[in-house]
Amino acid sequence: MAIRAARSWISGIVFLGGVAVVVSVSAVAFRDMHRDRPIYPGPGVTRVGMLSAYLGDLAGTGLDTEVYYLEGQTPGATVLVLGGTHPNEPAAFLAAVLLVENAVVERGRLIVVPRANRSGFTCTDPGEGHPQVYEIPTPGGPREFTFGSRATNPVHQWPDPVVYVNRLGQQLTGSEVRNLNRSYPGSPTGYPTEQLGHAITELIRAESPALSIDLHEASPEYPVINAIVAHPRALGLAVEAAMLLELDGMNISVEVSPVGLRGLSHREWGDNTDTLALLLETSNPAQGRLRGRTDAALVLTGQDKFYVRAGERNALYVRFTDRGWPLEERVGRHLQALVSLVEVYSAQHRQTPLVMQGVPQLRELRRDGLGAVLQPPR
Amino acid sequence: MIGWVYRLLVGLLVILVTWDLLREKSLRRQAVAAMVLVPLVLRLLMIK
């Protein structure tokens, strides 16, 4: 009897050792997701601040995030660009990173928030099987970035309600309480994600950007894809920019921000501030429901045989061939659209334009890839 | 405050499952307890 009891204690301790090993390996991977992958400010960055400057309560939390200011020598228009509202939309984040690392403003001011929901970069969405990281080769070595979650990490905001009713009365499923792009205009005393939304709205009020552009991606079967979504006050600007892009060979549609869908950037920034609010979408098969194997290669190449088959059956809102939707194509579309919007605005406001150089364009990215315009790791 | 309540609850579960794991006679049941313990400890470490 005593021998049996001793055996169970010994096997129990062995199992505990196994638990310690599994927990240690998992904890290292978990902690690594909380490490910000570096963004290297380029020659155009004149100042780096934190979003908590616009809402002090964010300081020291997992939702505070860097704000990059690229200021020209002479006054002009201010433009705000948000990447990483949804950290599982890598082209939106990388387009903002490329602005920080390459753009030089001659006139006016560009404000870039590449990790709008920084908390979302520290986890992946449950059940999606997304890779935690992906790498982009550069001449100086690979740059690693985290592939995040659509929403704030539950570690930073918990628990979710069963039904989330946002500040404007929009009823949403409970997990949307952690979706930054359902939380605008936000609240200084609300859920942490609503506080984040409020800080961004306060940034817009304080810095008065003429244009505010929220970068996104969507699955190929989502109707609003390869599109500019514009607040009604920004509709004319969006249509003109889309015409320029079409003339340049880039197909893009324009959608007007729906009145009945509250809490989204393109609606609430426009309704609650003076800015012209816009949102850009590209096609990201790694987000879609029809995708097959989900790994870092899918994130980078955007190639998926199941989406090719869906495309052959006209089940998608974008053309989908064996070429897929590579990451550089999607980043290039965002930057090309951004430049067109700025050009149209500047042509309409000759006294206060935004003049900038060095923004990588679609053709350049198609030809040379993202590695050619990302700074090498230091 | 709610974080500490959550820590207390999960910590209690960790202690009880560890106790079960050490006292259990059947290897299969010990393995089950070990598998339950892994997410509990990870959850305990993640609470902020």
Q: What is the DSSP string of A202-229?
A: HHHHHH--SEEEEE--B-TTSSS-SEEE
Contact A132, A225 (CB under 8 A): no
With CB atoms and an 8 Å threshold, state whether B24 touches A27: no
> What is the interface size between A and B, counted as CB pairs within 8 Å?
47
Nearest to A12 among B21, B41, B47 (CB): B21
CB A110 within 8 A of CB A209: no
Exposed e or buried b for every residue in A54-78, given b needs 16+ CB within 10 A? bbeebeebbbbbbbbbbbbeeebbb
Q: Cβ of A22 and B25 within 8 Å?
A: no
What would the pLDDT profile of A126-162 be if each residue is shown by its tens digit? 999 999 999 999 999 999 999 999 999 998 998 899 9
Q: Do B42 and A26 touch (CB under 8 A)?
A: yes
pLDDT of residue A235: 98
State the number of CA atoms in the 13 A half-sphere of B31 facing the CB.
3
CATH number for the region A45-372 comes to 3.40.630
Instruction: Mark yes or no for CB contact B48/A22 under 8 Å.
Output: no
Q: What residue of A is the nearest CA neighbor of B29? A: A12
The DSSP letter of residue A175 is G
Find the residue in A nearest to B39 (Cα).
A23
Residue of A99, A100, A39 lying closest to A360 (CA atoms)? A99
Residue of A nearest to B20 (CA): A12
What are the residue ranges of helices labelled H in A173-281? 192-207, 235-247, 265-272
A20: its two tokens: 């310690």
Question: 3-class DSSP state for residue A152?
Answer: coil
With an 8 Å Cβ cutoff, are A30 and B42 in contact? yes
**From CA A38, how far away is CA A349, in angstroms rounded?**
36
CA distance A354 to A77: 5
- Domain-wise residue ranges, chain A: 45-372
Model pTM above 0.90: yes
* Of the candidates A105, A103, A128, A124, the residue with the CA atom closest to the CA atom of residue A114: A103
ipTM, two decimals, is 0.90
Record: contact A8-B24, CB cut-off 8 A: yes
Contacts of A281 (CB under 8 A, 6+ apart): A216, A217, A218, A222, A224, A225, A226, A227, A228, A229
CB contact under 8 A, B21 and A16: yes
Mean pLDDT of B20-40: 94
Output the pLDDT for position A8. Answer: 82
What pLDDT, on the 0 to 100 scale, is given for residue A1? 59
Q: Does A192 touch chain B (CB under 8 A)?
A: no
The model's pLDDT over A14-69, given as tens digits with 9 standing for 90+, comes to 999 999 999 999 989 888 999 999 999 999 999 999 999 999 999 999 999 999 99
Q: Does B20 touch chain A (CB under 8 A)?
A: no
Q: Is B32 on the interface with A (CB under 8 A)?
A: no
Q: Which chain A residue is nearest to residue B43, measuring alpha carbons? A: A155
Give the per-residue pLDDT at A158: 87
Tell me the chain B residues in contact with residue A11 when contact means C-beta distances shorter than 8 Å. Answer: 27, 30
Query: Do the beta carbons of residue A221 and residue A310 sit within 8 Å?
Result: yes
Calpha distance A273→A158 (Å, rounded): 30
Tell me how far CA of residue A201 lies from CA of A78, A249, A278, A279, in angstroms. 15, 34, 14, 15
User: What residues of chain A score a pLDDT lower than 50?
Assistant: none
Tokens of A375: 């700074």
Nearest-angstrom CA–CA distance, A246 and A264 = 26
One-letter amino acid at A283 equals: S
Residues of B in contact with A3 (CB under 8 A): none
pLDDT at B48 over 80: no
Distances (CA, A) of A114 to A99, A213, A264: 9, 12, 18
